[in-house]
Amino acid sequence: MTSATSSGAETGELSSSTVQVTFDDGIAWVVLNRPDKRNAMNPTMNREMNVILDALEIDDRCKVLILTGAGEAFTAGMDLKEFFRETAGFDPIKRHRMMAQATNWQWRKLRYFAKPTIAMVNGWTFGGGFVPLIACDVAIAAEDAIFGVSEINWGIIPAGNVTKAIEAVLNERKALLYIMTGDPFDGKKAAEIGLVTESVPQSELRATVVALAQKLMKKNPITLWNAKVAFKHIGEMDWELSEEYLTAKAIANARMDPERGSERGLKQFLDDKSYKPGLGEYRREE
């Protein structure tokens, strides 16, 4: 794995027993940190990630969040021993709360996070790991990263919203092939079928992700947030409802935006003749 930190990076007080958080020039590096377990997500990590995401969403040091894993894995999925076997006898309400903690950060919080999120997939990604991977806005994988939905191989189905997450990004034929066979595949194949945005050699992974984060940081943050949330909601709407929702969302975005981006863009294009849409960003500071 390419190191998530760099010289000059600031170690934040948010780091916990299972997650490392560092800040570097507007990027919050969130590293799942159980390398001896291939960063399997246990109840402790799930509790800690909920706290960390809540804090980062309002932390000015975080302009873009990059999620990755320590060692050779992104995450091997749910910790089978700690999350399933050791909790089998729990009171149903206690077990439900524990499972909700996993779902909250892996899907709800991460998918609608107020800032751009990038999954930097450095290695092994299996089972439940597909949920936070897909919840991120963009995913860049190392070509030699290994993916798999292997639940079928020990007689269970991909539950806990794994199947739903896969359905959101893969077509039916590709999804069913890997769900029904459990066959592993690499980062190149993950990019080919649309599970990740693109794949690059491991040696180029960090630089590629940082360059993308820097590009996103140049955009209007309020508009970026509203644009991504709108896209994620309209998939379940028909055309008429989508039109109404997007119209209302555009109005809300203009009212929420403290830098009045649409007005600046129009002025720079129509009056100043200094900006050409499609060829770059409008000047956010004048």
Q: Say whether pTM exceeds 0.85.
A: yes
Count CB atoms within 10 A of the CB of residue 109.
20
CA distance 128 to 106: 9
For residue 1, the model assigns a pLDDT of 42
Whether 4 has a pLDDT exceeding 80, the answer reads: no
Sheet with 185-186, strands from edge to edge, namely: 73-75, 124-126, 146-148, 185-186
pLDDT beyond 90 at 30 = yes
3-state secondary structure (DSSP) of residue 215: helix
CA angle 247, 252, 254 (to 5 degrees): 100
Contacts of 164 (CB under 8 A, 6+ apart): none
Which CATH number is correct for 10-217, 3.30.565.10, 2.40.10.340, 3.40.50.300, 3.90.226.10? 3.90.226.10
pLDDT band with cut points at 50, 70 and 90 for residue 154: confident
State the pLDDT confidence band at 257, using cuts at 50, 70 and 90.
confident
CB 28, CB 19: distance < 8 Å = no
Q: Give the strands of the sheet with 10-11, arranged side by side.
A: 10-11, 19-24, 27-32, 64-69, 117-121, 138-142, 198-200
Q: Which of 54-68, 82-96, 130-144 is the least confident region?
A: 82-96
User: From residue 275, how far is each of 88, 187, 220, 268 by CA, in Å?
Assistant: 60, 38, 15, 5
Does residue 179 surpass a pLDDT of 50? Answer: yes
pLDDT at 273: 65
How far apart CA 103 and CA 222 sit, in angstroms, is 25
Confidence of residue 265 (pLDDT cuts 50, 70, 90): low
pLDDT band, very low/low/confident/very high, at 275 (cuts 50, 70, 90)? low
Residue 3 pLDDT exceeds 50: no
Higher pLDDT, 154 or 238: 238
Over 90: is that where the pLDDT of 268 sits? no
Distance CA(209)–CA(189), nearest Å, equals 19
Residue 257 or residue 165, greater confidence? 165
Give the Cα separation of 149 and 159 in Å (integer).
11
Q: What is the distance in angstroms between the CA of the first residue and the CA of the last residue of the chain?
A: 41
Residue with tokens 């590293």: 31
Tens digits of residue pLDDT in 186-198: 999 999 999 999 9
| 81 or 237, greater pLDDT | 237
pLDDT of 83-98, one tens digit each? 665 566 667 777 667 7
* pLDDT at residue 259, rounded to an integer: 81
Three-state DSSP string of 111-158: HCCCCCEEEEECCEEEHHHHHHHHHCCEEEEECCCEEECCHHHHCCCC
Range with the poorest average pLDDT among 124-133, 151-160, 257-266: 257-266
